[in-house]
Homo-oligomer: A and B are copies of this chain.
């Protein structure tokens, strides 16, 4: 029997390790591979033959792995150049050396493209190695799959923050303290995370990268809300931009006195506009930054379970020797109750396009999303796994890249 290899790439999420856990568990239930190798720090580490043996992971470790945020196998910024024979050959040689038949590659858009390129190259050169992709990205911007593992947990955190900070915003009477609160989320090209906040029911103004920013319209809407309520809750995606493509965030707020440009961020740009226009006397910005993609203290159960099952599905499908250049994903079943079907399809259909929020879901005047948008997001953030706690915080697996030198 041959072996298999798992690697992670790109920016981490809260549930990226649940997919690793799913592959490992599937192989324990049906050991079609002798050894399940974890490749450390992505392609970079694999090219250096840095591996961790995941085969016999205990059930408890498997469970803790599912609640460990960030990539336990490590990540890298190294990109295999398309059709770079040297790198491709070197990877295949290493797979051969370790008798690795298949690589499960967990990542976002770029990684799914790599899966496509590697499998095409292998086929072309008559090499029997196989390459399969498992999606993950808080950005939720992959095609084909209904949504991406990692998005739902980040969205759940965003909503929890919105509700709690909305309560905080309102604690002083609006007459005595009129104020705008601005929450900035990740999402450079697609506004899914910012958009997810609408299900909280607390968002007055939603600024997405899907719609070219119109300053006058934005300020008019904030003013309207302030006139009505004396408080205004704004959510903005980091990628919000003007019609000419320039980011709000790039409207350089500042210079730090040492010549470094200090990007104020989209939230600060909106704050400055609001104060300058006199639409509100006070505005506060909260940038969720890194915390939102690793908030394992409020994972979505739906997200964790689907990520795990996608790993299982990828493993189980690999019994078919024709299975390469494929990516697994979920498709929502029709009907009132949320349920998904697990699918697999050609990697090139998942990658290389950014899936935006559909234009028809976006309400005019920064007013949020339609009911269809709400219905898409709400079921994804439901449920909470029973976390194993240690010293007052969620227990985590010490990253494998730290356990091997």
Contact = CB atoms under 8 A, between A and B. Distances in A.
B69 A167 contact: yes
Contact of A172 (B74, B167, B295): B74
A127 interface: no
A160 B272 contact: no
Contacts of A355: none
Interface in A344-389: 378, 381-384, 387, 389
A30 interface: no
A291 B384 CA distance: 20
A12 interface: yes
Nearest to A50: B173
Contacts of A163: 393-394, 396
A174 to B, nearest CB: 10
A128 interface: no
Contact of A262 (B44, B160, B272, B389): B272
B378 A75 contact: no
B294 A168 contact: yes
A156 B276 contact: no
B276 A268 contact: no
A172 B284 CA distance: 32
Contacts of A254: 253-256, 262, 264
Interface stretch (A209-217, A296-304, A310-318, A329-337): A296-304
Contacts of A276: 256, 258, 260
B176 A44 contact: yes
Interface residues of A, number: 78
A293 interface: yes
Contact of A164 (B69, B200, B378): B69
A246 interface: no
Residue from A163, A199, A394, A396 whose CB has the most chain B CB atoms within 10 Å: A163
Given A260-B272, A396-B163, A171 B287 contact: no
Contacts of A298: 297-298
Nearest to A259: B276
Nearest to A155: B392
Contacts of A394: 160, 163-164
A56 interface: no
A257 interface: yes
Interface string A92-108: 00000000000000000
B393 A165 contact: no
A171 B264 contact: no
Contact of A168 (B70, B156, B262): B70
A171 B378 contact: no
B260 A275 contact: yes
B44 A12 contact: no
A230 interface: no
B258 A262 contact: no
A181 B290 CA distance: 10
A170 to B, nearest CB: 6
Given A172-B76, A297-B297, A284 B275 contact: no
A169 B74 CA distance: 10
A68 interface: yes
8 contacts: A74-B172, A163-B393, A165-B291, A167-B399, A170-B399, A254-B264, A256-B272, A258-B275
For the complex of A and B, the 3 pairs showing the least CB-CB separation, nearest first, are A254-B254, A381-B392, A70-B167
Given A173-B401, A253-B257, 9 more contacts: A41-B172, A71-B171, A74-B173, A75-B171, A75-B172, A258-B275, A285-B289, A286-B289, A378-B391
